[in-house]
Structure 1
Amino acid sequence: MNGTIAASAVKYVLGASEDPERLARETGLSDHELPSRVPADAVDELWTRAARLNGDPDFGLTLGRAYQPGAFGLLDFLFLSSDTLAGAFGAAVRNVGVLSTGGSYGWSEHDGLVTLSRSLPTQNRHAVTFLLGWQLALVRVAAGKPITPVHVGLAMPAPHRHGDLAEAYGSPAVDFGRPANSLTFRRSELEIPLVGADPVTAAMLRRRAAQLLPAEESWRDRVRAYQAQHLGDLEAAARHFAISPRRLQELLKREGTSWRRELEAVRGDLAVEMLGDGSLPTAVIARRLGYSDERAFRRAFRRTYGRSPQQHRGGA
């Protein structure tokens, strides 16, 4: 699992536990010894153990419903000081790395509706349900009135009962098993002036966020990491990153590469590893790497390394 979570978010979950000290011992995440960034897989375990310790199967949802904007500091105040909800979500998209890295944000518009999607570096249902509760709490405080999403999507399997989710999010349209977590609003609602709009404060906070953002992983690196695990097609990768295939190609082009070029590079690296095994026939390697047949694999390998798979295996 890739990604990191800011220590402030980890402390927030620890503080919501009925026994923070025990939770810290069980997860190795002491409130007094936390690094500034915590690996996402450790936080995944934190959510699971916190729910068990509290005896609350809906721990993430409970925490999201009770969230008071401001607890996450800089990112919350960037949202609240924006001019409109559209501007607030834009600030969140650009600066979410202050709070967490890994996954991605997406933004799409269709027929007067805007969908904001967020894939996380975890599928932990407590993290997922809290995420949307946190975002809706910010929306409602920033707008100064209740705003109901037209649709809510969750990147998790449907629980046995989910009436509480519909009630918490204020939307009867809640779907599960989505490629990313999402909130859909009417476009007109995103232009509502926010009650705490403060352009001077917002500009100051943006400068501070720029100083705190961790070094961003390139799209080339993200795509290569995805391809090394899945070797999927462009459309599947785009769904994973919650953006359109065209947008993903544009982002790679900016970095001087393409989906096909990176896929061939990853296939080449994996082929070398498999050939080093010595026991795998080249036909099996070709199939595992997604080539149409062994001949296509041999041609691709020769283009990359200047020799055939058999010559490579023989040390020629």
Structure 2
Amino acid sequence: MRTDLTLLHRFVLSQLTSMGLDRSRLILESGVPEWTLTGNGVHVPSETFWRLWETGARMLDDPDVALRVASRYTLKSTGLYDYLFTSAPTLGEGLATCGPYVSAVTTNHNFNLVDDDAGPTLRLDMVDGADATRDHTQLWGLAAVLTRARRVVDAPLDPVR
């Protein structure tokens, strides 16, 4: 079973709520156990994160909800995972921490920074998921990482691929 850390759910819930959605309804419809939304965060089945995106997109009638939420990403939202990224001496080294430590926030993704003939490439692969829920989750993951990078880099960051 693939899992996601409820710190992710908490951030998304806070953003969807700030967009006008009812928090209790989001929790109920997505199936996030409410007891997991306090404390240090625990891993729950990835299906709850997918349903959270699906519910938010439907309730807002917004197919780009994942991009909107990811653009609001705040540092420290994922605890240790953000710390490892932000404490790296360079952006490349920070991005390189994403792969080996991604299991701190999800076991449903593989994250790699590879350097090939075309230059550095950030690769995010989702293990389980289908349809729009996969798209939302993938867009969220990539856009959140890039937003996080923009928060720590004191220069324009314009990714190519």
TM-score by length of 2: 0.82
**Equivalent position of 1:23 in the other structure:** 26
Deviations 1:76-98 (A, max 9, x none): 12111110112112222121111
Q: Give RMSD over aligned pairs.
A: 1.9
Distance of aligned partners of 1:67 and 1:110 in 2 relative to their CA distance in 1, 3 Å threshold: same
- Please give the alpha-carbon distance, in whole angstroms, between the structure 2 residues aligned to 1:33 and 1:68: 20
Deviations 1:164-202 (A, max 9, x none): xxxxxxxxxxxxxxxxxxxxxxxxxxxxxxxxxxxxxxx
Which of 131, 139, 143 is the equivalent residue of 2:141?
Answer: 131
CA offset at residue 117 of structure 1? 0.6
- Which runs of 4 or more aligned residues in structure 1 lie more than 4 Å from their structure 2 counterparts after TM superposition? none
The answer as to whether partners of 1:69 and 1:137 remain within 8 angstroms in 2 is: no
In our comparison, the structure showing a higher alpha carbon Rg is 1
CA offset at residue 69 of structure 1? 2.3
Distance of aligned partners of 1:11 and 1:86 in 2 relative to their CA distance in 1, 3 Å threshold: same
TM-score by length of 1: 0.44
Q: What is the DSSP-based 3-state SS (H/G/I as helix, E as strand, rest coil) of the residue aligned with 2:96?
A: helix
Q: Where do 1:27-66 residues align within 5 Å?
A: 27-33=30-36, 36-66=42-72
Opposite residue 29 of structure 2, the aligned amino acid is: E
Deviations 1:258-303 (A, max 9, x none): xxxxxxxxxxxxxxxxxxxxxxxxxxxxxxxxxxxxxxxxxxxxxx
Structure 1: stretches of 5+ with no match in the other structure = 152-316
Q: Where do 1:22-171 residues align within 5 Å?
A: 22-33=25-36, 36-111=42-117, 113-121=119-127, 122-123=129-130, 124-151=134-161
Q: What is the DSSP-based 3-state SS (H/G/I as helix, E as strand, rest coil) of the residue aligned with 1:16?
A: helix
Identity %: 27
Q: What is the DSSP-based 3-state SS (H/G/I as helix, E as strand, rest coil) of the residue aligned with 1:106?
A: strand
Opposite residue 4 of structure 1, the aligned amino acid is: T
- Please give the alpha-carbon distance, in whole angstroms, between the structure 2 residues aligned to 1:126 and 1:133: 10
Deviations 1:36-55 (A, max 9, x none): 11111222112101111223
- Please give the alpha-carbon distance, in whole angstroms, between the structure 2 residues aligned to 1:138 and 1:33: 24
